[in-house]
Amino acid sequence: MTERRPIVVWTEIPVTDLPRACDFYAAVFDWTMKIDESGPNPMANFNDGVESGGGHLYPGKPGQGSTIHLVVPDIVEAAARRVAEEGGADLERIIPIPGVGRFQYATDPDGNSIGLFQPEPG
C-alpha cells in the first residue's frame, strides 16, 4: 500500500495591496499576519508560519480562480460580518454539510473567492 499524502500542499492568494490584505485576513480569521521580505518577493504566511499549513498572501493579480475554504475562529455569521466590515463581501446563504460543518462563500477586498468554514463541534 502506498503512503497517503496530503492532496493540497500549499495555496497562494494574489492581492493588490499586501498590507491591507494582511489586515483583512487577520481581522476575519483572527490570524497574526506579518510581511516577510526575505525572499525574492514579499509574502505573508497564513497565521504567521508555514507550520500552520496552508499558504500565504502575495502581491499579484487577483482573479476568479479557485475558492479556498478557511476555518473561522468562531461562527460563520460572525466571520461574514467581519468580512463586510473589512471591505469584502459575503455571498449567498450558509450551506450546511451534515456531519461536517457549514460554510458560506465570500470575497476578499480584491475579489478573491474564499469559503468561511465552521466545522461541527466534536
Q: For 51-66, write each residue's pLDDT tens digit.
A: 656 788 999 888 767 8
- The model's pTM is 0.79
Relative to beta strand 101-107, strand 89-97 is antiparallel
Distance CA 110, CA 95 (A): 23
> How many independent structural domains does the chain possess?
1
In a domain, 6, yes or no: no
Ranges under pLDDT 70 in the chain: 1-9, 49-53, 64
Which residue type, as a one-letter code, is found at position 97? I
Quote the domain boundaries for residue 113: 11-119
pLDDT for the residue 104: 95
CATH (domain of 104): 3.10.180.10
Per the domain annotation, does 81 fall within a domain? yes
User: How confident is the model at residue 29, as a pLDDT?
Assistant: 94
